[in-house]
Amino acid sequence: MSLLSDLEIYLKPYHESLIKKGFNYIESENGPGMGAYIIFSNSIIDIMLTNDRNYFFLYIQQCKSSEEYIDLEHLLAIIKCFEDNQDICKLTKKEKIKYWELTCDCNPLPFFLKNVDKITELFKEHNFNNTKQYLKAFYKDRGKWLFH
């Protein structure tokens, strides 16, 4: 089996939910020894589901953007900060670690589908500059707190 076929098997139980949320298949690739990916898109975001040695990850970017994809877990941390009424710009190292350690356990699609509306809102044109600022604040001194 290829990494792409493993990814397709992982995707199968979630495929209809993605379609119902307005996502369409864009492309896929099975890299030789490099993993595999499948990209879906709706009118606001592109999502790239990856298989890296049978660990699955999900990355998101604005639709048809040339900017880098953003890790789902980073966006979930921002959403959780909002839910906790935390000011992302004022988080301590310890608080950042707490939010960073929210994990999808290499099973990202249930977390994505549960939060797809909130994630999509972060990428809407009128919110995206703020989202980039939140990420910048969250990443500040990341090397110092990530490897604690």
Q: What is the pLDDT of residues 99-130, one digit of tens each?
A: 877 666 789 999 999 999 999 999 999 999 99
44 burial (CB, 10 Å; 0-12 / 13-18 / 19+) is: middle
Half-sphere exposure of 142 (CA within 13 A, CB side): 10
* Closest listed residue to residue 32, CA positions, set 54, 4, 62: 4
Domain ranges of the chain: 3-142
pTM of the model: 0.89
Q: What is the pLDDT of residues 9-58, one digit of tens each?
A: 999 999 999 999 999 999 999 977 779 999 999 999 999 999 998 899 99
